[in-house]
Structure 1
Amino acid sequence: MRSQWRLAGALIAGALLVTGCGGGSGGGDQSSAGGKANLTFWDWDPNMDKVVAIWNDAHPDIHVTLSNPAGGDQLVSKMITAHHAGNGPDIAKVEYQSLPALVAGQEVADITQYTGDAVKDFDDNTLKATKFQGKVYGVPQDVAPLLLFYRTDLFQQYGLKVPTTWDEFAQTAQDLHTKAPTVSLTNFDAADPGWITGLMQQAGADWWSADGDKWKVDINSAASKKVASYWEGLVKAGTIAKNPSFSPEWNKQMNEGQVAAWISGAWAPAQFSGIAPNTKGKWAAAPLPAWTAGDKTTGIWGGSATTVTTDSKHPAQAAQFAAWLNTDAKAVAAQIQNINVYPAATSGRSLPVLSSPPPFLPNQTDYYGLVKQVAPSSRSFSMWGPDVTVTFGAYTDKFGAALQNNTAFGAALDDMQNATVADMKKQGFTVG
């Protein structure tokens, strides 16, 4: 999934690097998978309980208790807090962009010794998301290329064609606004940075790079500003909504047909039942519009790994579960059926279950075929920086303010750049 992934933490100066990459597998029992173990698993996937139940039925000596304390960045924050208090979970779902900082901070463990067989089921590009300095810090769960999800009934009602370029997308938004002023083509999400980074990636942006121990931060690059300017134009034209995805207002708009499309990751079908339960069977997916006609490049929103924390007293058993969850045919098939993941494991991409559409998209029988088609052309940043949380926090602050105050999105990118650079220098990084 991440074609040129490198560990940002590998360039972290001095002790931070040493402790982050040499933290081992926790301070507790590091024996083999024998003996009774009770494990806690933090994960936000809907219906993951059904998958965990399969494990518990087959493994009476290793019981996994599932908990959903938060999702995405909030879960990472809770992991860090719990680690400092000495009461973190055994296993946790972590988005790929958050993993380098957790490795450097010793919140997640090196599980290389437990995953020798499991890692053979992943291609090199996918495994690079979780393998740093030759050590494995998580088992990849899924890949999540950006797609365009759209309401087939609304597109038909208003005579709209599915846009294949961003120019066509802007025109479609205007056409819909003219025909139905109360319906927006989509929304601008100032609350979830993963959404905007995917769009920036598609346009060719690379927010971080490094040469030796010297970093370059390029958040406000020409590619990024092109994307920002495009979306600012849609917002100012009044053709898209401003409510962030997953907000109560946006959920209501989605459910009542006031938003006709959603740019989201391949995991989106699992979310529709909670967002817009009245719209089952009315959605379809298409490739993300291109900046240049015919270009198949897309970005990524999310994608995660199953990690073992350094707080676990049973790292071998926890790693056994993480490997099973993402490589066992029955486990992967259950995730596809219940969570709509597109599996990271190469063997999982040939499972018969992928020939059936997600339950919420029953009319799109080729859904997983579409994901398989676009996944090889998805790109991430070539590397993630060591202070992603600061960058992401600046996004929600600055772009949220820009929406509210009707100020320039380009200036918001400049503010993100400045905040990120200042934080990195404060931490002792050389930025030039």
Structure 2
Amino acid sequence: MNTPFRKPVLAGVLAAALALAAGCSGDKDTPGPSGSAGGKVELTFWDWDPNMDKVVALWNDAHPDIHVTVSNPAGGDQLVAKMITAHQARNGPDIAKVEYQSLPALVSNGVVRDITGYTKQAVTNFDAATLRATTFEGKVYGIPQDVAPLMLFYRADIFQQYGLAVPATWEQYAQEASTLHQKAPNVSMTNFDAADPGWFTGLVQQAGADWWTADGTTWKVDINGQASKKVAGYWEGLVGNGTVLKNPSFSPQWNKQMNDGSIATWISGAWAPAQLGGIAPGTKGKWAAAPLPAWTAGDKTTGIWGGSAVTVTADSAHPAQAAQFVSWLNADDTAVAAQVENINVYPASTSGRSLPILQKPPAFLPNQPDFYTVVKSVAPSARSFSIWGPNVTVTFRGYTDAFGAALQNGTSFGAALDTIQDSTTADMKKLGFKVG
């Protein structure tokens, strides 16, 4: 059985980069006092979770000497780019949410700080498999926030209206998509999103792909391998027969389609219920969640989309206080329960996964009281890549360019993977990595 996360860094691969980052961190890993000689400490927190301000308010009420202000400058990969730019200008935030796949690049660029000395108690709240996503060369660079197995969210009312079965396999998913297309040509099963690679990487993870592997200091890149091309070919077929849309997720057009019933399913992470209220506010109570369809009947393997850590940046003038907040946010049961209630995370902390609040459904899915039970059942079989590459941002940009062109020009999805393979490999060699 796969664990949610496997070790993202092999011995020696990022040693030089980590040494550089440690040299830029500016602290000696010695916990400091909660306050400062100057009085009240002000911290900035970059985060894209809706309602995170409600969680942060609990901290501010209980800690008058350390005030946290949360803002949402961007999400996911866009936030990573903003963090790097802000760090270069030495005006980054104190604290930032970072998706697991982006953390190695931020560590190697010296953007986030080694917080090992500040978090020795906090990390005892997490199992070893989860901590591997935020630990490099034995040093902690973030506290895990959530686990995000890929799942199938579907409009229960649309499935009932057109007599569709919840698909257990991808073959059945394609059959149900065809049936829906025949019965309701104006309703599509889903969309193929060329703008955000997160869902697609989760799908190829489920199929067994490892886009990066490393042996000592030698890397291997396998973005266009057999498993990935199987997934790409499957979706090229659905796009080609018109059963799925071509437009990107999180666009105004997609939001409208999700809200008016033009889209019947969304392949997303376990965090989806928190986003649906902003995407499709008129559909509350109409969605349900199920395990991701399998390539082989009975196989419980799924991938991940997202899952994040909360980090302290190298630019923070108050790393001890920032680490204190980060530890509270993701290791304190009261804070974790507030995140479940307001953000619908599936907690990364071990104790958080047994909180009583998980017996209640997310507010947007009141019709599915067993939602977190379903998440808990699929999370142990979620797999990521065995290692995320050092230039994920280049790979993700390549995905957007190559698949966007394939959708526009009607060209091969397999060829798009070849293009991403070539650009990623060339960039790694340019950066000085040995690619075998």
- Given the alignment, which residue of 141, 144, 151 partners 1:147? 151
Q: Quote how far apart the aligned CAs of 1:28 are.
A: 12
- Given the alignment, which residue of 127, 152, 163 partners 2:131? 127
1:202 and 1:379 in contact (8 A); partners too: yes
Residues 1:61 and 2:57 are matched in the alignment: no
Q: Distance in 2 between matches of 1:184 and 1:25?
A: 53
Q: Distance in 2 between matches of 1:173 and 1:41?
A: 42
Q: For 1:41, what is the secondary structure of its paired residue? A: strand
Q: Could you tell which deviates more after superposition, 371-380 or 238-247?
A: 238-247
- Given the alignment, which residue of 95, 106, 113 partners 1:109? 113
Residues 1:361 and 2:365 are matched in the alignment: yes
2:29 and 2:118 in contact (8 A); partners too: no
Q: Which runs of 5+ in 1 are unaligned?
A: none
Partner of 1:290: 294
Q: Quote how far apart the aligned CAs of 1:30 are.
A: 7.2
Partner of 2:394: 390
One-letter code aligned to 1:118: A
Q: Distance in 1 between matches of 2:5 and 2:393?
A: 22
Question: Which residues in structure 2 correspond to 1:18-97 (within 5 Å)?
Answer: 18-25=19-26, 31-35=32-36, 36-97=40-101
Q: Distance in 2 between matches of 1:151 and 1:351?
A: 28
C-alpha distance after superposition, 1:355-407 (max 9, x if no partner): 00000000100000000000000000000000000000000000000000000
> What is the percent sequence identity of the aligned residues?
72
C-alpha distance after superposition, 1:104-160 (max 9, x if no partner): 111000000010110000000000000111110000000000010000100000000
Q: TM-score, normalised by structure 1?
A: 0.97
Residues 1:218 and 2:237 are matched in the alignment: no
Q: Distance in 2 between matches of 1:397 and 1:135?
A: 35
Q: Quote how far apart the aligned CAs of 1:243 are.
A: 1.4
Residues 1:7 and 2:6 are matched in the alignment: no
One-letter code aligned to 2:153: F
C-alpha distance after superposition, 1:183-212 (max 9, x if no partner): 001111111111100000000000001111
C-alpha spacing 1:111/1:25, structure 2 compared with 1 (3 Å)? farther
One-letter code aligned to 2:327: A
Q: Distance in 1 between matches of 2:356 and 2:8?
A: 33
Q: Distance in 1 between matches of 2:278 and 2:10?
A: 35
Residues 1:317 and 2:332 are matched in the alignment: no
Partner of 1:409: 413
Q: For 2:171, what is the secondary structure of its paired residue? A: helix
C-alpha distance after superposition, 1:35-58 (max 9, x if no partner): 331100000000000000000000
Partner of 2:239: 235
Q: Distance in 2 between matches of 1:139 and 1:195?
A: 23
1:155 and 1:161 in contact (8 A); partners too: yes
One-letter code aligned to 2:311: T
One-letter code aligned to 1:262: W
Q: TM-score, normalised by structure 2?
A: 0.97
Q: Distance in 2 between matches of 1:29 and 1:291?
A: 49
1:28 and 1:311 in contact (8 A); partners too: no
Partner of 2:122: 118
Q: For 1:271, what is the secondary structure of its paired residue? A: helix
Q: Distance in 2 between matches of 1:231 and 1:51?
A: 39
1:149 and 1:284 in contact (8 A); partners too: yes
Q: Quote how far apart the aligned CAs of 1:17 are.
A: 3.9
Partner of 2:339: 335
Q: Distance in 1 between matches of 2:139 and 2:42?
A: 26
Q: For 2:213, what is the secondary structure of its paired residue? A: strand
1:2 and 1:382 in contact (8 A); partners too: no
Q: Quote how far apart the aligned CAs of 1:23 are.
A: 3.6
One-letter code aligned to 2:124: K
Aligned length: 431
Partner of 1:380: 384
Partner of 2:102: 98
C-alpha spacing 1:188/1:26, structure 2 compared with 1 (3 Å)? farther
2:30 and 2:117 in contact (8 A); partners too: no
Q: For 1:322, what is the secondary structure of its paired residue? A: helix
C-alpha spacing 1:136/1:17, structure 2 compared with 1 (3 Å)? closer
C-alpha spacing 1:180/1:258, structure 2 compared with 1 (3 Å)? same
C-alpha distance after superposition, 1:250-288 (max 9, x if no partner): 111110000000000000000111111111000000000
Partner of 1:256: 260
Q: Distance in 1 between matches of 2:8 and 2:360?
A: 35
C-alpha spacing 1:260/1:362, structure 2 compared with 1 (3 Å)? same
Q: Quote how far apart the aligned CAs of 1:18 are.
A: 2.2
Q: For 1:63, what is the secondary structure of its paired residue? A: strand
Q: Distance in 2 between matches of 1:399 and 1:220?
A: 13
Q: Could you tell which deviates more after superposition, 97-106 or 29-38?
A: 29-38
Partner of 2:205: 201
C-alpha distance after superposition, 1:54-90 (max 9, x if no partner): 0000000000011111101111111111111111100
Q: Quote how far apart the aligned CAs of 1:24 are.
A: 3.2
Q: Quote how far apart the aligned CAs of 1:5 are.
A: 1.7
Q: Distance in 1 between matches of 2:359 and 2:26?
A: 38
C-alpha spacing 1:17/1:331, structure 2 compared with 1 (3 Å)? closer
1:100 and 1:386 in contact (8 A); partners too: yes
2:4 and 2:380 in contact (8 A); partners too: no
Q: Quote how far apart the aligned CAs of 1:9 are.
A: 9.3
Q: For 1:215, what is the secondary structure of its paired residue? A: strand
